[in-house]
A = this chain, B = another copy of it.
Amino acid sequence: MEQALQRQTAPPRPPVEPSAPEPMFDLIEALFFAYRDFVGDADRLLLRYNFGRAHHRVLYFVDRRPGLSVAELLDLLKITKQSLSRVLKELIDGDYIEQRPGLADRRQRLLFATDAGHALALEIAHVQSRRFATALAKLPAGAREQGAAFLAAISDAGEGK
């Protein structure tokens, strides 16, 4: 008997202080789903290389900011040195990233994407951009600029950082 599944309701709640405004559940959920599907694109591609999200984040920023130092990368990703080391080692061993000593400060190990690394970074960026393009096609003109401004305002560094 295909009975209409009547959803049970939320339990009654104790009264709340009416001080706090209603949370913006629409934005909270939309950001969650957008990010989930956005990184899903990259995940699928990275499987072929036995790389994970962590590898992608490192490769992405090294490719976009050639000559990045390890310290700068750590600050960008907000992870620890030890977390980075495994991932970075694998990318270097696989010849996707290379290190060169700093010119001014030879303690530094500046990071550069190799040709292979650059190609992989670009491939992933293309897939993700295709997702954006599909989205923007459904939205009115100016949506790209508005979306970028909106996202930038949400992050701690209101600017691009």
Q: Per-residue 0/1 for A97-121: is the Cβ within 8 Å of any B Cβ (1 yes, 0 no)?
A: 0001011110000101111001000
Q: Which of A5-13, A44-52, A83-91 touches B?
A: A5-13
Instruction: State which of B11, B60, B100, B129 has its C-beta within 8 Å of the C-beta of A21.
Output: B129
Query: A147 near B: Cβ within 8 Å?
Result: yes
Cα of A100 to Cα of B30 in the assembled complex, Å:
29
With a cutoff of 8 Å between Cβ atoms, the chain B residues found around residue A24 in the complex are 128-129, 132-133, 144
Work out how many copies of this chain go into the complex: 2
Cα of A147 to Cα of B143 in the assembled complex, Å:
9
Pairwise interchain contact A147-B146, C-beta atoms closer than 8 A:
yes
Question: A57 → chain B, closest Cβ, in Å?
Answer: 8
* A6 and B148 contact, Cβ closer than 8 Å, known pairs A35-B31, A125-B28, A153-B138: no
Instruction: State which of B20, B139, B143, B153 has its C-beta within 8 Å of the C-beta of A136.
Output: B153
Task: Identify 17 residue pairs between A and B in the complex whose beta-carbon atoms are under 8 Å apart, listed by A's number.
Answer: A6-B103, A7-B67, A10-B113, A16-B122, A21-B129, A24-B132, A25-B125, A27-B148, A30-B148, A31-B34, A31-B38, A33-B157, A38-B155, A136-B153, A138-B158, A143-B149, A147-B147
Known: A26-B160, A31-B38, A143-B146. 13 other contacts (CB 8 A): A8-B100, A8-B110, A9-B67, A20-B122, A23-B122, A24-B132, A28-B132, A29-B64, A30-B155, A31-B35, A33-B160, A143-B150, A146-B146
